Amino acid sequence: MKFTNTLIAGKFIRRYKRFFTDIEVKNKKIVVAHCPNTGSMMGLLDQGNEAWISEHNDPKRKLKFTLEMIKVKKRIIGVNTHRANRIVEHALENKLIKEFSTIKNIRAEFKYSDDTRFDFLCDKKILEVKNTTLMREDDIAEFPDAVTSRGTKHLQKLKESIKKGYKPYVLFLTQIQGINNFRIAKDIDSTYYKEYLDAKKSGVSFLAYRCTLNSKEIKIEKKIKIIDE
């Protein structure tokens, strides 16, 4: 997935009111950028971290800039959760996900039931995407970064879908440069972890793929190992 324009580099100053961030760009100018991430963003919000923002000239937008990436511990991390499905759709179309390389039809925003939508239906494979930005230990990405009742519900619905003839998958889209391992953050959400283990036993498939990130594009790079502890 290529950015429309090359991102602008700067330094992260602070996040406030959940959706606002102050970013210092060249000549020490401070701009306000939209934060399109409703999660805790644990470990990402230290003042002075390198950051990248996109610029938009839509007069209907309240904020001209959007926070896209932050650099933590020498790794660039994509924080714009609105980009996740576009990154995955690009990967599906270009056969970058091995398990989906033979699919013929891609349907986004699949309405599974009256109260549940999944990110993609690829032939008979359901694909639910979980954007992953948490890194508390070197070379291990984790999900979730906060309690996710919505994520737990998705796992329950994915288990149910097997009985209806679907093949359900969860893809942990790991937007952390160069990371090699992934695990569920069971200390953050033990209920999600238990549901994950049960879903895995029931036949739900779990994948973790990392991305390559720079100021011009983000795209899926390679599959990484899921650690069960």
Residues 6+ apart with CB under 8 A from 131: 78, 81, 84, 173, 175
- Residue 52's alpha-carbon distances to 32, 44, 113, 180, 213, in angstroms, are 12, 13, 38, 23, 11
pTM: 0.94
Architecture of domain 81-226: 3-Layer(aba) Sandwich (3.40)
In sequence order, the β-bridge partners of residue 52 are: 9, 69
Torsion of CA 146, 61, 128, 207, to 10 degrees: -70
Check if 8-75 and 81-226 are the same fold.
Answer: no
Q: Which residue has the tokens 């999944």?
A: 118
Residues 6+ apart with CB under 8 A from 215: 3, 6, 7, 9, 52
Q: Which CATH number fits domain 8-75: 1.10.1040.10, 1.10.3720.10, 2.40.50.580, 3.40.50.1820?
A: 2.40.50.580
pLDDT in tens, the chain (229 residues): 999 889 999 999 999 998 999 999 999 999 999 999 988 999 999 999 999 999 998 888 899 999 999 999 999 999 999 999 999 999 999 999 999 999 999 999 999 999 999 999 999 999 999 999 999 999 999 999 999 999 999 999 999 999 999 999 999 999 999 999 999 999 999 999 999 999 999 999 999 999 999 999 999 999 999 998 6
Domain ranges across the chain = 8-75, 81-226
In sequence order, the β-bridge partners of residue 22 are: 14, 32
C-alpha to C-alpha distance for 191 and 174, rounded to whole angstroms: 21
